[in-house]
Amino acid sequence: MKSEKRKYFLTGLLVVLPALVTLYLFISLFSFFDNIIGRYISRITLHYLGYKIPGLGLLLFIVLIFATGFFATNFIGKRFLRFFEQFFFRFPIIKKIYPAAKQITEFLFSQKIEGHLQKVALVEYPRKGVYTIGFVTNKSPEEVIRRTTGQELLNVLIPTVPNPITGFVLCFPRSEVIILDMSIEDGIKFAVSGGVYSPKELPKVQAENPSQDSLRK
Protein backbone atom coordinates (compact mmCIF):
# COMPACT_ATOMS: atom_id res chain seq x y z
CA MET A 1 0.00 0.00 0.00
CA LYS A 2 2.84 2.34 0.86
CA SER A 3 4.58 1.63 -2.45
CA GLU A 4 1.34 2.34 -4.35
CA LYS A 5 0.97 5.73 -2.62
CA ARG A 6 4.56 6.55 -3.53
CA LYS A 7 3.88 5.49 -7.11
CA TYR A 8 0.76 7.70 -7.32
CA PHE A 9 2.62 10.64 -5.83
CA LEU A 10 5.57 10.35 -8.24
CA THR A 11 3.23 9.91 -11.21
CA GLY A 12 1.25 12.97 -10.20
CA LEU A 13 4.45 14.92 -9.68
CA LEU A 14 5.68 14.00 -13.18
CA VAL A 15 2.38 15.25 -14.62
CA VAL A 16 1.90 18.42 -12.55
CA LEU A 17 5.49 19.68 -12.20
CA PRO A 18 6.23 20.21 -15.94
CA ALA A 19 2.90 22.03 -16.32
CA LEU A 20 3.64 24.28 -13.33
CA VAL A 21 7.17 25.05 -14.56
CA THR A 22 5.87 25.85 -18.05
CA LEU A 23 3.11 28.06 -16.65
CA TYR A 24 5.55 29.83 -14.34
CA LEU A 25 8.02 30.51 -17.15
CA PHE A 26 5.23 31.73 -19.43
CA ILE A 27 3.88 34.13 -16.81
CA SER A 28 7.39 35.33 -15.93
CA LEU A 29 8.29 35.99 -19.57
CA PHE A 30 4.93 37.65 -20.19
CA SER A 31 5.44 39.96 -17.20
CA PHE A 32 9.04 40.73 -18.16
CA PHE A 33 8.31 41.71 -21.77
CA ASP A 34 5.04 43.42 -20.88
CA ASN A 35 6.80 45.62 -18.30
CA ILE A 36 9.46 46.84 -20.73
CA ILE A 37 6.96 49.22 -22.32
CA GLY A 38 3.88 48.39 -20.28
CA ARG A 39 5.02 50.31 -17.20
CA TYR A 40 4.87 53.54 -19.22
CA ILE A 41 1.72 52.63 -21.17
CA SER A 42 -0.08 51.72 -17.94
CA ARG A 43 0.43 55.23 -16.59
CA ILE A 44 -1.25 56.68 -19.69
CA THR A 45 -4.18 54.25 -19.71
CA LEU A 46 -4.61 54.63 -15.95
CA HIS A 47 -4.68 58.42 -16.30
CA TYR A 48 -7.11 58.62 -19.25
CA LEU A 49 -9.12 55.39 -18.91
CA GLY A 50 -8.87 54.76 -15.20
CA TYR A 51 -7.50 51.22 -15.51
CA LYS A 52 -4.53 49.27 -16.84
CA ILE A 53 -4.63 47.00 -19.89
CA PRO A 54 -2.55 43.83 -19.30
CA GLY A 55 -0.64 42.70 -22.35
CA LEU A 56 -0.74 46.06 -24.13
CA GLY A 57 2.95 46.64 -23.39
CA LEU A 58 3.81 43.21 -24.81
CA LEU A 59 1.76 43.90 -27.94
CA LEU A 60 3.52 47.23 -28.51
CA PHE A 61 6.87 45.58 -27.83
CA ILE A 62 6.17 42.99 -30.56
CA VAL A 63 5.12 45.77 -32.96
CA LEU A 64 8.34 47.61 -32.12
CA ILE A 65 10.39 44.49 -32.89
CA PHE A 66 8.69 44.09 -36.28
CA ALA A 67 9.19 47.79 -37.06
CA THR A 68 12.86 47.57 -36.07
CA GLY A 69 13.33 44.47 -38.21
CA PHE A 70 11.70 46.15 -41.20
CA PHE A 71 13.83 49.26 -40.72
CA ALA A 72 17.05 47.24 -40.27
CA THR A 73 16.57 45.37 -43.57
CA ASN A 74 16.62 48.43 -45.82
CA PHE A 75 19.66 50.44 -46.90
CA ILE A 76 19.17 53.38 -44.54
CA GLY A 77 18.44 51.08 -41.61
CA LYS A 78 21.59 49.05 -42.19
CA ARG A 79 23.73 52.19 -42.24
CA PHE A 80 22.05 53.47 -39.08
CA LEU A 81 22.54 50.10 -37.36
CA ARG A 82 26.23 50.13 -38.28
CA PHE A 83 26.56 53.66 -36.85
CA PHE A 84 24.65 52.58 -33.72
CA GLU A 85 27.01 49.63 -33.15
CA GLN A 86 30.10 51.79 -33.68
CA PHE A 87 28.71 54.25 -31.13
CA PHE A 88 28.17 51.40 -28.66
CA PHE A 89 31.73 50.17 -29.10
CA ARG A 90 33.09 53.45 -27.76
CA PHE A 91 32.10 52.44 -24.25
CA PRO A 92 34.61 50.03 -22.62
CA ILE A 93 32.09 47.78 -20.84
CA ILE A 94 29.43 47.76 -23.55
CA LYS A 95 31.86 46.85 -26.33
CA LYS A 96 32.66 43.65 -24.44
CA ILE A 97 29.06 42.69 -23.62
CA TYR A 98 27.23 43.73 -26.80
CA PRO A 99 29.16 41.55 -29.34
CA ALA A 100 28.76 38.45 -27.17
CA ALA A 101 25.04 39.14 -26.63
CA LYS A 102 24.60 39.68 -30.37
CA GLN A 103 26.29 36.39 -31.26
CA ILE A 104 24.20 34.45 -28.73
CA THR A 105 21.00 36.09 -30.01
CA GLU A 106 21.87 35.34 -33.62
CA PHE A 107 22.58 31.75 -32.67
CA LEU A 108 19.36 31.26 -30.72
CA PHE A 109 17.01 32.94 -33.19
CA SER A 110 18.67 31.86 -36.41
CA GLN A 111 16.06 30.48 -38.81
CA LYS A 112 18.12 27.32 -39.29
CA ILE A 113 20.16 26.13 -36.37
CA GLU A 114 21.81 23.68 -38.77
CA GLY A 115 23.62 26.68 -40.18
CA HIS A 116 25.64 26.74 -36.96
CA LEU A 117 25.60 23.10 -35.87
CA GLN A 118 26.53 21.15 -38.97
CA LYS A 119 26.80 17.55 -37.77
CA VAL A 120 26.34 15.46 -34.64
CA ALA A 121 29.54 13.61 -33.79
CA LEU A 122 31.23 11.33 -31.28
CA VAL A 123 34.62 12.30 -29.93
CA GLU A 124 36.85 10.81 -27.27
CA TYR A 125 36.59 13.31 -24.43
CA PRO A 126 37.64 13.97 -21.65
CA ARG A 127 40.00 10.99 -22.09
CA LYS A 128 40.65 8.06 -24.40
CA GLY A 129 37.99 5.39 -24.20
CA VAL A 130 35.25 7.81 -23.08
CA TYR A 131 32.99 9.08 -25.84
CA THR A 132 31.04 12.32 -25.82
CA ILE A 133 28.31 13.64 -28.10
CA GLY A 134 29.33 16.91 -29.74
CA PHE A 135 28.37 19.19 -32.61
CA VAL A 136 30.67 19.96 -35.51
CA THR A 137 30.43 23.71 -36.06
CA ASN A 138 33.12 24.43 -38.64
CA LYS A 139 36.63 23.77 -39.80
CA SER A 140 39.34 25.10 -37.55
CA PRO A 141 41.17 28.28 -38.61
CA GLU A 142 44.27 27.85 -40.76
CA GLU A 143 46.47 29.41 -38.09
CA VAL A 144 45.34 26.83 -35.53
CA ILE A 145 46.12 24.04 -37.99
CA ARG A 146 49.49 25.54 -38.90
CA ARG A 147 50.58 25.98 -35.28
CA THR A 148 49.52 22.48 -34.14
CA THR A 149 49.57 19.18 -36.01
CA GLY A 150 49.30 20.48 -39.56
CA GLN A 151 46.33 18.13 -40.05
CA GLU A 152 42.86 19.31 -40.90
CA LEU A 153 41.00 20.05 -37.68
CA LEU A 154 37.28 20.38 -36.96
CA ASN A 155 35.71 22.62 -34.34
CA VAL A 156 33.49 20.52 -32.09
CA LEU A 157 31.15 22.06 -29.53
CA ILE A 158 30.94 19.84 -26.45
CA PRO A 159 27.62 20.91 -24.88
CA THR A 160 26.90 21.27 -21.19
CA VAL A 161 23.72 19.94 -19.60
CA PRO A 162 21.01 21.13 -19.75
CA ASN A 163 22.03 24.09 -21.93
CA PRO A 164 23.42 22.75 -25.22
CA ILE A 165 24.52 26.13 -26.60
CA THR A 166 27.17 26.51 -23.92
CA GLY A 167 30.17 24.30 -23.38
CA PHE A 168 33.66 23.82 -24.73
CA VAL A 169 34.87 24.31 -28.29
CA LEU A 170 37.62 21.77 -28.98
CA CYS A 171 39.66 21.24 -32.13
CA PHE A 172 39.86 17.58 -33.15
CA PRO A 173 41.69 16.02 -36.09
CA ARG A 174 39.16 15.03 -38.72
CA SER A 175 40.22 11.38 -38.40
CA GLU A 176 39.22 11.37 -34.70
CA VAL A 177 35.70 12.74 -35.27
CA ILE A 178 33.01 10.09 -35.76
CA ILE A 179 30.08 11.61 -37.64
CA LEU A 180 26.71 10.18 -36.58
CA ASP A 181 23.61 9.73 -38.68
CA MET A 182 21.66 11.66 -36.05
CA SER A 183 19.72 14.86 -36.68
CA ILE A 184 20.75 18.09 -34.97
CA GLU A 185 17.38 18.15 -33.20
CA ASP A 186 17.91 14.68 -31.74
CA GLY A 187 21.43 15.62 -30.71
CA ILE A 188 20.15 18.68 -28.86
CA LYS A 189 17.40 16.66 -27.17
CA PHE A 190 19.99 14.11 -26.11
CA ALA A 191 22.17 16.84 -24.57
CA VAL A 192 19.27 18.69 -22.88
CA SER A 193 17.91 15.49 -21.32
CA GLY A 194 21.31 14.50 -19.98
CA GLY A 195 21.30 11.36 -22.12
CA VAL A 196 17.83 10.23 -21.02
CA TYR A 197 16.32 10.93 -24.44
CA SER A 198 17.24 8.43 -27.13
CA PRO A 199 16.33 8.67 -30.82
CA LYS A 200 13.86 6.05 -32.07
CA GLU A 201 16.54 4.47 -34.22
CA LEU A 202 20.13 4.01 -33.16
CA PRO A 203 22.46 6.39 -34.98
CA LYS A 204 24.54 4.85 -37.73
CA VAL A 205 28.23 5.59 -37.47
CA GLN A 206 29.86 6.42 -40.78
CA ALA A 207 32.43 3.80 -41.62
CA GLU A 208 34.83 6.27 -43.11
CA ASN A 209 35.91 9.77 -42.28
CA PRO A 210 33.49 12.49 -43.41
CA SER A 211 34.11 13.60 -46.95
CA GLN A 212 34.82 17.16 -47.88
CA ASP A 213 31.25 17.58 -49.11
CA SER A 214 29.69 16.37 -45.87
CA LEU A 215 30.86 19.47 -44.01
CA ARG A 216 30.39 22.98 -45.18
CA LYS A 217 33.45 24.75 -46.37
Instruction: Kindly give the confidence (pLDDT) of every residue in the chain, 217 residues in length, as a single tens digit, with 9 standing for 90 and above.
Output: 667 778 888 888 888 888 888 888 888 878 887 888 888 888 888 878 888 888 888 888 888 888 888 888 887 878 888 887 787 777 777 777 777 777 666 665 655 444 456 789 999 999 889 999 999 988 898 999 989 988 899 999 998 876 666 788 999 999 999 999 888 888 888 887 777 777 665 444 444 444 444 554 4
Is 126 part of a structural domain of the chain? yes
- For residue 92, how far is the Cα from the chain centroid? 27
Q: What pLDDT shows up at residue 202? A: 45
168 DSSP β-pair partners: 158
137 domain-assigned: yes
- Give residue 213's pLDDT: 47
Please tell me the predicted confidence (pLDDT) of residue 110: 58
Residue 136 lies in a domain: yes
Residue 139 lies in a domain: yes
Count the domains in the chain.
1
pLDDT at 173: 93
Tell me if 59 is assigned to some domain. Answer: no
Q: Report yes or no on 130 lying in a domain.
A: yes
Q: Domain of residue 198: give its range.
A: 113-209
Q: Residue 60: its pLDDT value, please?
A: 86
- pLDDT reported for residue 109: 61
Q: Please report the pLDDT score of residue 198 as a whole number.
A: 74
What is the per-residue pLDDT for 203? 46
Helix axes 56-72, 2-48, angle to 10 degrees: 80
- pLDDT at position 47 is 78
pTM score, two decimals? 0.50
Domain-embedded: residue 102: no
Give the other-Cβ count within 10 Å of 154's Cβ: 25
In a domain, 168, yes or no: yes
